[in-house]
Structure 1
Amino acid sequence: MERLGSREITLAKIGTPEMDRYLKDNPGQEGLFLRGIPSYVLNEIAPIFQKINYRSAQDLVLFDVGANHGVWTGAFLSVAGHKTARAELFEPLPGNQQTIAEQKDRGLYGEHASKVTVNPHGISNEAAKVTIHFDTERSGFASMASDVCHLPSRNVELKNTIDVDVFTIDEVCAKKGIKAIDVLKIDIEGFELFALQGADGMFGNRAVDVCLFEFGPHQLAHRHIFKDFYEFFTSRGYDLYKYRIGGAALIPITEYMSTYEMFDRVSMFLAHRKP
């Protein structure tokens, strides 16, 4: 999904006088300051800052699980790189790792490049060797769940395979000495619930502040339903929100309803740790 090429990402930083003046006149419109970033990225980044107090938050830790070409992290750092201590990217495909390196050389992460670490493995609910399916060497579509990427209006055959290592988020945090994750983004084409299960220790300790994840047709490969996600988060003390299509607002999910079981589109959800 992430296609940026060599275009630069620029943004008036959150917390600057220019941004503060704008927000005073246009409250809640952080995302409109984004320039040169695909609109879907704008709509995914901006809502996070409705749940993180960006004026006081410092030394943020970002986990980008399913980094693909690294553009999502580039967008995040353009918004809050001056308040981010480290960005851990997880991308198991060698071709995509090379793309991230090239994007980094082109200045995608700007002055924050030294904060970015690319972990060349996947994330799951246990340490293992798994087969990942992908379409091209520098894939926009890859999945550990299925050899077909089911999109709302078409299917993409994932004819190529490679065996990759996967670890749990709990294992990664223990190895790296990470005590808390401020923003956890998971976009791994149907493997999202497994990644969450592998972070049960961090969530159980309320050490993850905000988690955003995709839900849609990719979940069908493992028969995961939205209720699985709802129960995972609410049982651990998290509020859930759905992103409004075409805007940066968050819609609270106050109770489970079957209307959230939408498999004909890809939807974004956000979980936030209750105070």
Structure 2
Amino acid sequence: MIKSLVNNVVYGKKAFQPLFEKLHFISLYGMNIGSPTDVKTSGELFAISLILEKFQEEEFVIVFDVGANQGEFTKAVLSGLKKIKRKLKIFAFEPQKEAYTNFKENIKSSNVAVYNYGFSDTKGKKTFFQNNEISTLSSLYTTDALYEPKFDKERLEIELTTIDDFVEKKQISKIHYLKIDVEGHEFSILQGAKHALQNNKIEIIQFEFGNVNAIAKVFMKDFFDLLGDRYDIYRLLKDGIQKISKYDGKIEIYQTTIYLAIDKKLVI
């Protein structure tokens, strides 16, 4: 009786749309979808604690910081993993020259190697769009449609390689934690790591999914198709992770959200 009344009087009715829109926003924020994504508030500090929990017995622990900008994530890793600092190695990658220079000034550690190029699915050069030289919103995709007019006021050519090529050259047998924050190019980077993925060389992958993925024409389904056989996928929360048991079209939400793909062999 009550359910029927609500269906007839409330659901889908114009008068209640402002309420439902507000509830929708609250629900997304409550699920950490579209929430602030700096390291201290995004849940990344919890993700870093997983590295310590799962890999502290390893002989070496390798972390990739792809889209390192000025080093906020790398700095948090160094701070959070002090207990295993002696066997920790962080490889950081930042194609923006000014951000790369600032990274080197901000972080001086024998545990860190930083490179002034990015990753993709193939090697080569591409046009990079930025609104300033250290912007965290710079991208390989023009984002004028998403942000204020002429947001992409600067263009530069950047060097790109693949994770597979880098891993082979550096003879890296295992990446324990791969963090990717590259404004819409995450999926292409993972396509350039197919050999590493197929040979179980990557344990945990942190990637973003947000509005720039709409410009890149990438869906969450693409990540599930690429990773679903070997990884469980979780949404990162401020104090934990929430498993996404299976793909559903309802998760195609283009609001910046951090996900973890965790090797199914790891016990979480």
TM-score, structure 2 normalization:
0.78
How far apart are residue 249 of structure 1 and its match?
1.2
Residue of structure 2 in register with 1:17 after alignment:
none
1:212 counterpart residue number: 206
CA contact (8 A) 1:149 1:156 kept: no
- Range that drifts further, 53-62 or 157-166: 53-62
2:188 corresponds, among 171, 191, 194, to: 194
After superposition, where does 1:135-214 map in structure 2 within 5 Å?
135-148=131-144, 150=146, 157-214=151-208
1:50-199 matches, within 5 Å, as 50=50, 52-83=53-84, 84-104=87-107, 113-148=109-144, 150=146, 157-199=151-193
Q: After superposition, give the CA deviation of every residue in 1:111-161 in whole Å (9 maximum; x if it has no partner).
A: xx011111111100000110101111222321012243836xx67712101
**1:115/1:156 Cα in 2 relative to 1: closer, same or farther (>3 Å)?**
farther
Shift of 1:45: 3.0
CA distance in 2, matches of 1:44, 1:155: 31
- Please state how far the C-alpha of 1:54 moved relative to its aligned partner: 4.7
What is the deviation of 1:260?
1.0
What does the per-residue CA deviation read over 1:172-230, in whole Å, with 9 as the maximum and x for residues that have no partner?
00111111100000000000000000000001001100000000101011210101011
Q: Is the 8 A contact 2:143 2:212 kept in 1?
A: no
* Unaligned runs of at least 5 residues, structure 2: 1-37
Matched residue SS, 1:143: coil
TM-fit CA distance, 1:86: 1.1
CA contact 1:202–1:208 (8 Å) conserved in 2: yes
The question of whether the paired residues in 2 share the 8 Å contact of 1:95 and 1:139 is answered with: no
Q: 1:205 to 1:38 in 2, by over 3 A?
A: closer
TM-score, scaled to structure 1: 0.76
Whole-angstrom distance in 1 between the partners of 2:189 and 2:80: 26
Whole-Å Cα distance in 1 between the matches of residues 97 and 128 of structure 2? 12
- The aligned length equals 225
> Which structure has more strand as a fraction of its residues?
1
- Pick one of 245, 251, 258 that aligns with 2:242: 251
1:97 aligns to what SS in structure 2?
helix
Alpha carbons of structure 1 residues 116 and 155: separation in structure 2 relative to 1, 3 Å: farther
| Contact map agreement 1:168 1:199 (CA 8 A) in 2 | yes
Are the equivalent residues in 2 in contact too, given 1:63–1:87 (CA < 8 A)? yes
Identical counterparts, % of pairs: 28
| Structure 1 residues 149 and 187: CA distance shift in structure 2, 3 A | farther
Aligned counterparts of 1:38 and 1:100: Cα–Cα separation in 2: 16
Contact 1:122 1:167 in 2 (8 A): yes
**Contact kept in structure 2, 1:141 and 1:149, CA below 8 Å:** no
> Alpha carbon RMSD of aligned pairs, Å?
2.0
